[in-house]
Amino acid sequence: MRILGIETSCDETGIAIYDEDKGILSHQLYSQVKVHADYGGVVPELASRDHVRKTLPLIDKALKEAGCTADDIDAIAYTAGPGLVGALLVGSTVARGLAFAWNKPVVPVHHMEGHLLAPMLEDEVPEFPFIALLVSGGHSLLVEVQNIGEYTVLGESIDDAVGEAFDKTAKLMGLDYPGGPRLAKLAESGRTGIYKFPRPMTDRPGLDFSFSGLKTFAANTLRAEIDEANDENNEQVKADIAYAFQEAAVDTLVIKCKRALKQTGLKRLVIAGGVSANTELRAKLKELMTSLRGQVYYPRLEYCTDNGAMIAYAGLQRFKAGHIDDAAQVHPRWPLEELASVVK
């Protein structure tokens, strides 16, 4: 069985073809970073226009690379939400158009379920049940996963998502969009113990997160420490703030993961979404799971951020469960817990 996956929920056009026996046959990605760089963030209308330009040519390229034609494709999976409505509409419209032309079924996929299942594309896959930490630009979620489509959200951010906090803090420091990975890079030259940032919401019970205070803390520290007359000092101040910010964000996520594992008695942890590309976060969660005699699973770096492979994979699971929707609707807001199980 072969699935074409289409991802257009934000600023990346991702296309992939997944074969049930052979795995990913082709994986194409076009990042719109340059389109949005001048604006310091994603401009929804520009994102939609760029998806319009890129989606079909990338599908052609993917089919060629996979050495197949429309006849070899069993279903077309697309990201139906959550995401930017205009961007989602491009993917869904292309999916519906191709489905009509090729006479194939259409499978809507939840973007965060795509992220959550991305580690299944690796050699070593987690068994169910497990805890998933989903951390992206739009979401920070701790989820108990009993099976595909059986999700209990244990905690989520009450304000900014962690990726959003990375991006906003990076912007404050004058780093270009997308700021998250740049802030992480800057933190490498930061020194330990110079600034101490808070670990929000860790001093009370519960698994929810709050990250907007960290960004404010970074803004205040920056204001207090920057010396207009001393550029060299300022570069080090920024690196030290980046270090302290990242340390606090990662620590907070680790504390909450530990709590979720304790609460549920589970020993397997999956991390996925754009922020799971963060080296510090990966290392600290690995340390945690070693100390708990458990195991951590994460996707390879190219499948951490938005991509078509995760949509094709999740699409195959949904297709096998009969979850098709030829109307190709979109859901800009779509709680993960609304999804149906693939086994019940």
Give the interface with ligand KG4 as residue ranges (CB under 6 A). 10, 136-138, 163-164, 166-167, 178-181, 184, 273-275, 277-278, 305-306
- The set of residues, in sequence order, having a beta carbon less than 8 Å from that of 226 and lying 6+ positions away, is 234, 237
- Select 15 or 184, whichever has its Cβ closest to ligand KG4: 184
Rounded to whole angstroms, how far apart are CA atoms 23 and 2? 9
Which partner from the list Zn ion, ligand KG4, none does 299 bind, CB cut-off 5 to 8 Å by kind?
none
Residue 67 CB, nearest approach to Zn ion (Å): 29
Q: Binding residues for Zn ion, per CB under 5 A? A: 136, 306
- Select 1 or 158, whichever has its Cβ closest to ligand KG4: 158
- Select 58 or 63, whichever has its Cβ closest to Zn ion: 58
Which partner from the list ligand KG4, Zn ion, none does 330 bind, CB cut-off 5 to 8 Å by kind?
none
In the bound state, the residue with its beta carbon closest to Zn ion is 136
Rounded to whole angstroms, how far apart are CA atoms 36 and 46? 8
Which partner from the list ligand KG4, Zn ion, none does 81 bind, CB cut-off 5 to 8 Å by kind?
none
- DSSP, collapsed to helix, strand or coil, labels residue 14 as strand
In terms of Cβ atoms closer than 10 Å to its own Cβ (0-12, 13-18, 19+), residue 272 is buried
- For the chain, how long is the longest CA-to-CA vector? 67
Residue 58 CB, nearest approach to ligand KG4 (Å): 17
- The set of residues, in sequence order, having a beta carbon less than 8 Å from that of 220 and lying 6+ positions away, is none
Rounded to whole angstroms, how far apart are CA atoms 131 and 268? 6
Residue 102 CB, nearest approach to Zn ion (Å): 27
Which partner from the list ligand KG4, Zn ion, none does 181 bind, CB cut-off 5 to 8 Å by kind?
ligand KG4
Residue 118 CB, nearest approach to Zn ion (Å): 10
Which partner from the list ligand KG4, Zn ion, none does 28 bind, CB cut-off 5 to 8 Å by kind?
none
- Select 108 or 178, whichever has its Cβ closest to ligand KG4: 178
Strand partners of residue 297: 270
Contact between 40 and 20 under an 8 Å Cβ cutoff? The reply is no
Residue 306 CB, nearest approach to Zn ion (Å): 4
Which partner from the list ligand KG4, Zn ion, none does 184 bind, CB cut-off 5 to 8 Å by kind?
ligand KG4
Which partner from the list ligand KG4, Zn ion, none does 180 bind, CB cut-off 5 to 8 Å by kind?
ligand KG4
Residue 308 CB, nearest approach to ligand KG4 (Å): 12
Residue 116 CB, nearest approach to Zn ion (Å): 11
- Select 76 or 184, whichever has its Cβ closest to ligand KG4: 184
Residue 15 CB, nearest approach to ligand KG4 (Å): 15
Residue 14 CB, nearest approach to ligand KG4 (Å): 10
- Select 99 or 248, whichever has its Cβ closest to ligand KG4: 248
Going by their DSSP bridges, the two strands 268-272 and 150-156 should be labelled as unpaired
- Select 1 or 283, whichever has its Cβ closest to ligand KG4: 283
- Provide the token pair at 289: 């799971």
Which partner from the list ligand KG4, Zn ion, none does 169 bind, CB cut-off 5 to 8 Å by kind?
none
Rounded to whole angstroms, what are the CA distances from 215 to 192, 197, 222? 19, 10, 11
Rounded to whole angstroms, how far apart are CA atoms 106 and 83? 19
Contact between 26 and 16 under an 8 Å Cβ cutoff? The reply is yes
Q: Residue 130 corresponds to which amino acid? A: F
- Select 157 or 278, whichever has its Cβ closest to ligand KG4: 278
Rounded to whole angstroms, how far apart are CA atoms 11 and 88? 11
Contact between 60 and 90 under an 8 Å Cβ cutoff? The reply is no
- Select 112 or 288, whichever has its Cβ closest to ligand KG4: 112
Rounded to whole angstroms, how far apart are CA atoms 299 and 313? 13
- Provide the token pair at 116: 């959550």
Q: Residue 293 corresponds to which amino acid? A: R
